Amino acid sequence: MRLYEYEAKKLFSQFRIPISKGEVVERKEQAKAFAERVGKPVVLKAQILSGGRGRAGGVKFASSAEEAEQKAEMLFATKIKGFPVKKILVDEQLEIEKELYLGITLDRINYKLVTLACCEGGVEIEEVARKNPERIKKISLDVDQRFYPFWGISLARWLGAKGENIKIVGNIAVSLFKLFKQYDAKLVEINPLILTRGGKYIAADARMSIDDDALFRHPELSQMGIQKRHEEGEMTEREKLAKEWGIPYLDLDGDIGMFPGGAGFGIMGNDFVHYFGGKPANFMDSGGGPTPERLAKMLILLDENPRVKAIFGARFGGISRCDDFAKGVVMFLKEHGLSKPMVLRMTGNMWEEGVKIFEKEKKENPEIFKNIEIHGIETPIEQIAKRAVELAKKS
């Protein structure tokens, strides 16, 4: 379960990790009142369960109470990364000398915990890890091991702390580790940990995710107002529509619409598309033996997504039947129409019947097929993925 920044910060302050003075507000007047009270510039941050808010316009600065009110109004009125903004964290603005990164997560490959420190904060750590891995200092730990203060010191030195700040930053690392363990976290992250012009280290952002299966061990969370949540309130409109239709569906940030068979095929298709240099716009699962109606709806989700530039389709008929698949595709083509190029492959159970349905329909309504390329067993699935990537690049 992911926590909101303001929730994670509550836990931070329990563990004496310094945070800036702030308040969570639900109305713009409250933002104004807070800014008036502190009498200093503030930063307003949309509380959504997603990172990268800064780049998406979810973090705003205000130098007066009036401006804080205006910015709050703007944030409440817009969606950030597809999420409506119901709460804003208004923080006293920090004067930044340097932005750093400190985090702890699970290393699932080596069955360890890993503490990460990096002098580049405020950027995506994954990107630093890819481009400049030597800039990240890692300490791997066994899950039952304690975190020794001297490790904290060595991370603090890596982060460039000087003098008495070495101990202060070291303690932040120790506290972060205690917090991670205490709450059965999967991730705790301070990005950025800010060194202020005044020489103080403050967690300007807080990201935390708790193992769902361990939530029963933490009734204290709900006493603190941190409720176990279905992350439904955070779904995109398309995900909600898919849920209404009973289709497992997730929006991703690429441009290739994925129209697979089952979930396994969906995951494999995702890997293929990445392999050929593309990025999927979604993950989806047709379920076993989907009806033509359901298949048509799956295609509507993709065709109406403005991000989607091309569609990758794959049906391996096992429990599901290729004739039903063809009927679903035809139903969609006739009733809705396909506005994006689509390449698909169909083989397996009732394949001949499926081909016949396509051929008959193509004879009668050739124009509805103009955006589709249909393949069978003769074309390996990799080729289909490759073609989808090409089509997306072309359009």
- Of these, 7, 23, 120, 205, which contacts ligand GDP (CB under 6 A)? 205
18 binds, among ligand GDP, Mn ion, none (CB under 5 to 8 A by kind): none
Closer to ligand GDP by CB, 203 or 372: give it: 203
Q: How far is the CB of 130 from ligand GDP (least distance, A)?
A: 18
What tokens does 343 get?
């390449």
- Of these, 45, 60, 309, 327, which contacts ligand GDP (CB under 6 A)? 45
Report the C-alpha gap between 231 and 345 in whole angstroms. Answer: 34
- Is 275 a catalytic site residue? no
Residues sharing a CB contact under 8 Å with residue 302, sequence separation 6 or more, in sequence order:
257, 258, 259, 281, 282, 308, 311, 340
43 binds, among Mn ion, ligand GDP, none (CB under 5 to 8 A by kind): ligand GDP
Report the C-alpha gap between 299 and 235 in whole angstroms. Answer: 19
End-to-end CA distance of the chain: 38
- Of these, 103, 152, 170, 192, which contacts ligand GDP (CB under 6 A)? 192
8 A C-beta contact, residue 295 and residue 289 = no
How many of the other CB atoms lie within 10 Å of CB of 159? 25
Q: Does residue 90 belong to the site contacting ligand GDP (CB under 6 A)?
A: no
Q: How far is the CB of 59 from Mn ion (least distance, A)?
A: 9
Select from 297, 298, 271, 304 the least CA-distant residue to 285.
Answer: 298
What tokens does 122 get?
């405020």
Window of 40-48, 157-165, 194-202, 204-212 that interacts with Mn ion by CB under 5 A: 204-212
Q: In what order do the strands lie in the sheet with 342-348?
A: 256-259, 310-317, 342-348, 372-375
Q: Does residue 296 belong to the site contacting ligand GDP (CB under 6 A)?
A: no
- Is 6 a catalytic site residue? no
What tokens does 141 get?
């730990």
Q: How far is the CB of 52 from ligand GDP (least distance, A)?
A: 5
User: How far out from the chain centre does Cα 352 lie?
Assistant: 41
DSSP string, 257-284: EEE-SSHHHHHHHHHHHHHTT--BSEEE
Window of 73-81, 92-100, 175-183, 385-393 that interacts with ligand GDP by CB under 6 A: 92-100
Q: Does residue 191 belong to the site contacting Mn ion (CB under 5 A)?
A: yes
Q: Does residue 51 belong to the site contacting ligand GDP (CB under 6 A)?
A: yes
Question: Which residues are known to be catalytic?
Answer: 101, 189
**Contact residues for Mn ion (CB under 5 A)?**
191, 205
**Contact residues for ligand GDP (CB under 6 A)?**
20, 43, 45, 51-54, 59, 91, 93-94, 96, 99, 122, 191-192, 204-205
